[in-house]
Amino acid sequence: MMTAIDEADPRTPSHVPRELVVDGFDIFNLEVPDADPPLVWREIKLANPPIFWTNENGGHWVATDAADIKVIQVDHEHFSMAQHNIPKNRRGMPAPPIDLDPPKHFGYRALISPAFSPKALAALEGTIQQVLDGLIDRVAPRGECEFVEDVAHVLPINVFLGMMGLPKEDAAYLLPLSTLNTQAKELEVSQRTRAEMADYLKDKIEARKAHPTDDVLSQVVHGKVNGEPLPDDELLGMCTLLLAGGLDTVASMMGFIFRFLATHPAHLAELVADPDLIPQATEEFFRRCGIANTGRILVEDYEFHGVQLKAGDLIQIPNCLYGIDETVVDNPLEVDFHRKKPIPYASFGNGPHSCPGKALARLEVRLLLRSWLSRIPEFTVKPGTVPQARIGMTNSMRELWLSWR
């Protein structure tokens, strides 16, 4: 990918040097030949300046060095989460707490944090295991499955809808909306799908107002920030954010993990032989298989490593690059279940905006690996099929056929 263009693009802002413009770079139109998005991002990093500009999708910067990614994640005084999607206004509605910076962020985050506490997750473990047992009972006798649809989407959706107190049969309606929300290039498509998810929630929210239960949705509906209930638009936006966040990202992480195991029999055999490695392996997979490609908006004019950024500029940070950067970890592309702890990664963010659901994701992945490998210890990518992945605001596994004896 070239960093220079033959002719000046009239869309390029005046403060962006021509040598930092990457012509035609479009996060929604990147090929993923090996269904391994971090490798694609790594090639982009190696071929371009550490901070570069693209005029696609409304125009935005991209930062690819690990040190810069971490700084941008935590320095909310310069890099705000008020706009964290590409292009701007992608959601079309408030989305607290993710679009709020400290200190305001903390009050809203406190409404959902109890749902992911160690006590709450311990109570969920039996439910997760029950869902897993049913899933594996269904697919094991077949000798094959399309892992994303048959397993990866079913597990987290069933668990999360249960936490929210929503009907599990609604997953079939909600999942395509979640996929479009993260993968659609067109702004109007993303806004429309988010609005449809919000419309789905409106009567559920009103029902919880009148008759609260012990689910997460009720906790948010009746929650208060600084002693005051949430305004209706913030309440709807927050509930919609929770719903969207629980439907797709963990499923994609599971897909990338199982694609790796299906194509690396030695690693698969090692986990089967020693299931006690699964917690360590989960952290290593989180490092190697990052998902989110979040952004920030510049609060003010700011010179960052010699690059002049302007207030209102968007800057994207592919979080997966942090965990595969040689300055952060040795042999970063190698998956090593014995890597020295702590294993560094930014897949769930850093600082105040780190994902509150990461502990739930960790629990689901660990239980999935333990349950699956005890029942189906050998599997490969189904002959004649090719895993399919996409890149957008998330790295997403779209199709993965597996087969076994």
Instruction: State pLDDT tens for residues 8-55.
Output: 799 999 999 999 999 999 999 999 999 999 999 999 999 999 999 999
pLDDT of residue 4: 46
φ/ψ (deg, to 5) at 211: -140, 80
Q: What is the pLDDT of residue 157?
A: 86
| pLDDT, tens digit, 9 for 90 and up, residues 134-171 | 999 999 999 999 999 999 989 988 898 999 999 989 98
How far is the C-alpha of 390 from the C-alpha of 17, rounded, in Å? 30
Structural domains for the chain: 18-384 (1.10.630.10)
pLDDT digits (tens, 9 = 90+) for 49-87: 999 999 999 999 999 999 999 999 999 999 999 998 899
Are the C-beta atoms of 138 and 154 separated by less than 8 Å? no
Amino acid, res. 159:
V
Question: Longest Cα pair distance anywhere in the chain, in angstroms?
Answer: 63
Local confidence band at 248 (pLDDT 50, 70, 90 cut-offs): confident
Looking at per-residue pLDDT, the higher value among 89 and 267 belongs to 267
The pLDDT-based confidence of 7 (bands split at 50, 70, 90) is low
pLDDT over 90, % of the chain: 80
> 393-402 pLDDT, tens per residue?
899 999 999 9
Q: Average pLDDT of 90-111?
A: 90
Q: Give CA angle at 64 (354, 308), nearest 5°.
A: 100
Mean pLDDT of the chain: 93
pLDDT tens per residue across span 161-197: 999 999 989 988 988 887 777 777 888 888 899 899 9
Q: Which residues contact 13 (CB under 8 A, 6 or more apart)?
A: 59, 310, 313
The pLDDT score that the predictor gives to residue 330 is 95
Mean pLDDT confidence for 206-220: 95
Other Cβ atoms less than 10 A from the Cβ of 102: the count is 14
Does residue 6 register a pLDDT over 90? Answer: no
Tens of pLDDT, residues 305-355: 999 999 999 999 999 999 999 999 999 999 999 999 999 999 888 888 888
Give the list of residues 6+ apart from residue 153 with CB closer than 8 angstroms, or none.
171, 175, 247, 248, 251
d(CA 394, CA 288): 14
Look at residue 242 and tell me whether its pLDDT is greater than 90: no
| Residue 3 confidence class, pLDDT cut points 50, 70, 90 | very low
Bridge-based pairing of strands 224-225 and 228-229 is: antiparallel
Q: With contact defined as beta carbons under 8 Å apart, do 152 and 251 qualify?
A: yes
d(CA 402, CA 405): 11
Structure-token pair, residue 367: 């239980």
